[in-house]
Amino acid sequence: MPDPVPASPEQRVDEWDGDHLRHRSDVFAEPGVDPAELSDDDLIREVASLHRTRLDTLRHASDAALATHLRRTADLETEYLTRHPGREIDPHRLRDG
């Protein structure tokens, strides 16, 4: 019988509901400032910081830290997309087909 596929961090952390972490203040403190309260420059800085630490967090952080990182990244990126729905798309980043 083959080994089972290992569970993802989202599956191993009970506070994860498949889309985002549930708000459980007894388990996770809210990380950082509410993205809606950040200036555009601060929002970009926060997103860039998370992207710089992404691989290290993926490879070496605890399941809870990775789940928090995923949630914070999603919150910040969602705020960016809310503010910039018509963001400029680089045609070189598009795939033909």
Per-residue pLDDT at 20:
46
- Between 27 and 58, name the one with better pLDDT: 58
- At 82, list the tokens: 């809310």
Residue 90 has, within 13 A of its CA and on its CB side, a CA count of 2
Q: Alpha-carbon distance 90 to 92, whole Å?
A: 5
> pLDDT by residue (tens digit) across 6-54?
655 555 555 444 444 444 443 445 568 999 999 999 999 999 999 999 9
- Between 32 and 84, name the one with better pLDDT: 84
Neighbours of 13 (CB within 10 A): 20
Q: Cα dist. 96→12, 91, 92, 93 in Å?
A: 38, 10, 10, 10
User: Over 80: is that where the pLDDT of 89 sits?
Assistant: yes
